[in-house]
């Protein structure tokens, strides 16, 4: 079974600042994947970034990067140079077998 914990229900940062969202997970699988999905207000959920657990190198996508600590089962998301459009719910989601499990999310507000 997989579990996921996002310990920050809500965060606010000023535009252009850097913010880190935390996520810890537990899984008994050896082969799994980790995702961060973003759900903007009243808009569709979209993938932010993906990490294969067998890869040691942390994934990056433009302003988004992860800090993947496999032994600690930690998978945090860093957003650099935050923009107003980054305001959204962010879900950490480990995936193994045939499905992914979503955390409860962190509501991120980017302030002008």
Partner 1 sequence: DTGVSQNPRHKITKRGQNVTFRCDPISEHNRLYWYRQTLGQGPEFLTYFQNEAQLEKSRLLSDRFSAERPKGSFSTLEIQRTEQGDSAMYLCAGGRDRVADTQYFGPGTRLTVL
Q: Which residues bind partner 1 (CB under 8 A)?
A: 33, 43-47, 50, 52, 91, 93, 95-105
Give the C-alpha separation, 51 to 32, whole Å: 9
**Contact at 8 Å (CB) between 36 and 77?**
yes
At its nearest, how many Å lie between partner 1 and the CB of residue 82? 22
**Contact at 8 Å (CB) between 102 and 93?**
yes
Whichever of 10 and 81 has its CB closer to partner 1, that residue is: 10
At its nearest, how many Å lie between partner 1 and the CB of residue 10? 10
At its nearest, how many Å lie between partner 1 and the CB of residue 67? 20
**Contact at 8 Å (CB) between 9 and 89?**
no
């Amino acid at each position: 079974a997989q579990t996921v914990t996002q310990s920050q229900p809500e965060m606010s940062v000023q535009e252009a600042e850097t913010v880190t969202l935390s996520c810890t997970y537990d899984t008994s699988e050896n082969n799994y994947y980790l995702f961060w999905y973003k759900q903007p207000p009243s808009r569709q959920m979209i993938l932010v970034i993906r990490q294969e657990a067998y890869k040691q190198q942390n994934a990056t996508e433009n302003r988004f990067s992860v800090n993947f600590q496999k032994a600690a089962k930690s998978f945090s998301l860093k957003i650099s140079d935050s923009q107003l459009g980054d305001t959204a719910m962010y879900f950490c989601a480990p995936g193994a077998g045939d499905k992914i499990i979503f955390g409860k999310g962190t509501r991120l507000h980017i302030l002008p």
